[in-house]
Amino acid sequence: MRRLDLTSAGFLLLEKRETPMHVGGINLFTLPRGVNEQKFLEDLAEQLRSATEFRQPFGDYVVTGKTGLYWEKDEHIDMDYHVRHSALPAPGRYRELFSLASRLHTTLLDRTRPLWELHIIEGLQGRQFAVYNKIHHAAIDGMGAMHITRAMCSESPRDKTGYAPFSLEAYEVYKRQRFGAKKKRTPRPTERNLRNVLEALKSQYDSSMHLATAMRRFGLAFVGRSGNLAVPWHNVPRTSINTRVSGARRFVAQTFEFDRVKRVCAALDATVNDIVLAICAGALRRYLLARDELPLHSLKAMAPVSLREEGDLESTNAVGFITADMATNVYDPEKRLRTIQESMRAGKDLLRELSPAEAALFMQLTQLPALVTSILGLGSKFPAFSTVVSNVPGPRKPLYWSGARLDGIYPASIVFDGFAMNITLVSYHDQLDFGIVACRRSMPQIQRIIDHLEDALAELEQIAGIGSAAERKNISARRKAKPRTKSAGQKTTALKAKKKATTRPAKSPAKKAATAKARPKATPKTKAKGKQ
């Protein structure tokens, strides 16, 4: 048996019927030319079921021991239970696919079995099929999921992998291809043992000092003495997002061209993550304005950061977080971006002096209150964050699975009591794939966030001076039609600002063609790929 680390065990302790703690999403593929769809998908299903040895912990289930939770090997894995084959009802649109994914993401994983499922989904239009995967967060984080996607696929459409992605064989092949065969370290000479002990003691002392400094800065933020550092619970406003959640989920997704974001980055001197956060902030501001509930205090987002060291394929969870001030109470989009940048810079400075091990311990210490409030059922009364915005770096080259082209990676993550929506995106090749999960009861109109994301990106393009003249003119007119919402130095009342700002002009025909209000959909570029 192997003991679970505190972070992984925390996801199991937080889980209940209303808050499933699994992650996953939809991988969208186009069938190779000339193949029979039914035969091809049946072969893939058999390939997935063929695994007999698994990389850790995909062959294990969770047991409770005297001192904690442990992984125990499952000697009798039922692969027909873990690998399933489904079909969409006609007409096989993305709407039906996302509806199925919403239902699949609602149900809990069976803890008496290894904590994962794979669903091959046929019936999509345009010779596409999908794979929905569901893995408990105790077993994997975002970067770990990307390693599995790379191990499952190849950069050549001619390569045929004969193993399942969770198999031990896939893990060993991928490790050799990516990191090579590393020689085992030879034991250090005996005469250096004393020096090693002294270095270990110094390292432990340094870690204690680093952690004490980080905790001090973290605490001072609550009394406004840590500059631009944003921290959980401090001035987190209450909105319809910050409520108790039910067990039902709603999943929507969309693809945006990566080049659009990169052009804005270059024009506004910002990182991709800065622009992504600004896009999400603009979308959230629009969503709350439309509901007449934009708060005076800015929303705060948990922005996960990877603590995984290069070459680390073993860790189940090597992730921390930075609290991002989303500046949703700031009308001007460029000023909003700069506020986000300052808070992210302060958060990175807090972690910069810490080693990965120190940062992991710091995260565990600062997340303990969230664990306690969730277990006590107080998460919605004392929300640590407004939402989650997670940016996961994905493969930079197009990938293929046994010849089937990977068209998109749409992540589906988790929501808690206190924040009923999670925005996660993956950068894949030349696109950004957004997956949004929300509590179906608390946020029934979550699909509107897709349109708001497009509007927010277009607004940033407008202030950056890029995009067509017609688009810039349309965005400028819409911005002038919306009065400023009250922030720290403004004299208008919040009530007047909200009432005026709820009026939204109609979209132009060009804008209607660019976005779909009825439902989320994949980009036209994705459809074009399927035609080859």
Catalytic residue numbers, as ranges = 137
| Phi, psi for residue 428 in degrees, rounded to 5 | -125, 120
Class of residue 286 by CB neighbours under 10 A (exposed 0-12, middle 13-18, buried 19+) = buried
b/e code 116-137 from CB counts within 10 Å (16+ = b) = bbbbbbbbbeebbbbbbbbbbb
Strand partners of residue 300: 325
Query: Is residue 434 within 8 Å of residue 453, measured between CB atoms?
Result: yes
> Which residues lie below 8 Å from residue 299, measured CB to CB, with a gap of 6+?
236, 237, 239, 241, 281, 284, 326, 328, 386, 387
Here the tokens at position 353 are 């002096």
Q: Using the structure block, give the residue that is written with the tokens 């302790």.
A: 13
Q: 118 by DSSP, 3-state: which?
A: strand
Question: Where does 107-141 have alpha helices with state H?
Answer: none
C-alpha to C-alpha distance for 71 and 169, rounded to whole angstroms: 20
| Cis preceding linkage at 57, omega within 30 | yes
Strand partners of residue 412: 24
Query: Is residue 292 within 8 Å of residue 257, measured between CB atoms?
Result: no
- The rounded Cα 254 to chain-centroid distance in angstroms is 14
Identify the CA nearest to 129 among candidates 100, 106, 161, 159.
100
> Which residues lie below 8 Å from residue 22, measured CB to CB, with a gap of 6+?
105, 108, 109, 115, 134, 135, 136, 137, 414
Q: Please provide the distance, in angstroms rounded to a whole number, between the alpha carbons at the two ends of the chain.
A: 49
